[in-house]
Structure 1
Amino acid sequence: MTTEVDELVESGSIPEMMPTWIALWIMDKCDEIDPETQKPKPLATTRAKYAHAQKMRASMSHKFGRDLGLGTAPWIPHPVTPGRFVGNPSLSPKVSQYMVRAGEQVTSARAMDEHVLKQLYTFNMAYQDDEGPISRKRKAGEDTPWGGSSLRMMLQLIYILAFLCLLRFDEVLNIQWSWVTLDTHNGRHRIKLALPYRKTHQYGGKSHFFLIHRWNCLLSE
């Protein structure tokens, strides 16, 4: 079934206001402000959380990018034809600006740095497993226990490998045991990871380095 949006894409005449319509659609479902009245919604009104808003935007990006063939290029004015736009309207700066919440950067644009890695290490190492059975009942607003100490340590290893080796998460998850070597250096255990593909550092010049801080150390004692 061909929709009105499909016809607009085929004719190359997607309205300039499409990014605004996407933002208003997300705002209507997830924002505390009513897009029509510009006033706070009644307390009894159920609204989705920020994570759901991100999923809504991702679905629109997929619809325009994959199903309608517009790709992942940002939404910009046509370089030749005035009044026309090219790219994915869901990736417009207008939609990105709306998705910025409480002064934070958009999640996809937020870089992982050593400070964040240290916070993750402190959080994961402070977790203690419950000896008794875990109750499924919890108070409103209380975080749900999502994993034990072993799972958190495995995730911490993934974070460190991705950070130090400049890997995407899919590359980390595809690491094989044949690439890993355990050896000893000056009486201390260490891990050697030999990747079968090249990952070039931006500045280069070093083929190996020493890990100093615990939160970016592969073997924390």
Structure 2
Amino acid sequence: MIRRALLAEALGSLILFATVVGSGIMAERLAGGNLAIALLGNTLATGAMLFVLITMLGPVSGAHLNPAVTLVMRLRGHVSTKVAFGYGAAQIVGGIIGVWLAHVMFDLSVLQLSHKVRAGPSQWTAEAVATCGLILTILGTARMRPAQLPASVALYITAAYWFTASTSFANPAITVARSLSDSFAGIAPSSVPGFILAQLAGALVAYLFADRLFPDTNEEPA
């Protein structure tokens, strides 16, 4: 069972990260220099793929696809420490392979480093907000409307691409993987630590508030 779950996390991250980077490359090529159109293409592909992956892989592994999500699930006791480390490794390795696959599909050099600097208080705040919102979306929808979880997460990320200054990475694994792509979706390696710290901070804030916001459904509302 754990092997199937690890495979699901690795494969899901591979597909998701290939979608993020590949759609960014395609969008930039087709947008004719219009960054808004390029971002829109990148956004729609990512949101659509998230819906598919969570629907497909949720029953297998929970479809975390994100170390920040796995961290919160470990803190809530939903997975063991051993499984959490396994998930994190699967997400990072699968995601990096997904980025490399996107490069192959678009006839680019497989091994790259991004030169796109994303740093500063506004970017870090955006990542903390994006990740906090994502975790609250997952925990809240899972508690209140579990059947709507795939759509809820996909729609949140679609919106967060546009309302956050960082375009909502909200995922430490994809932050690492995107540093290996000098493309529309890339992030300079020097910017990675700040993003990851902000993402983890946002995830922990969501963890602290989730139970207060989303009590057991058999409790009377205030």
Task: Give TM-score scaled by structure 1 length.
Answer: 0.25
The structure that has the greater radius of gyration is: 1
Structure with more helix by fraction: 2
Structure with more strand by fraction: 1
Task: Give TM-score scaled by structure 2 length.
Answer: 0.25
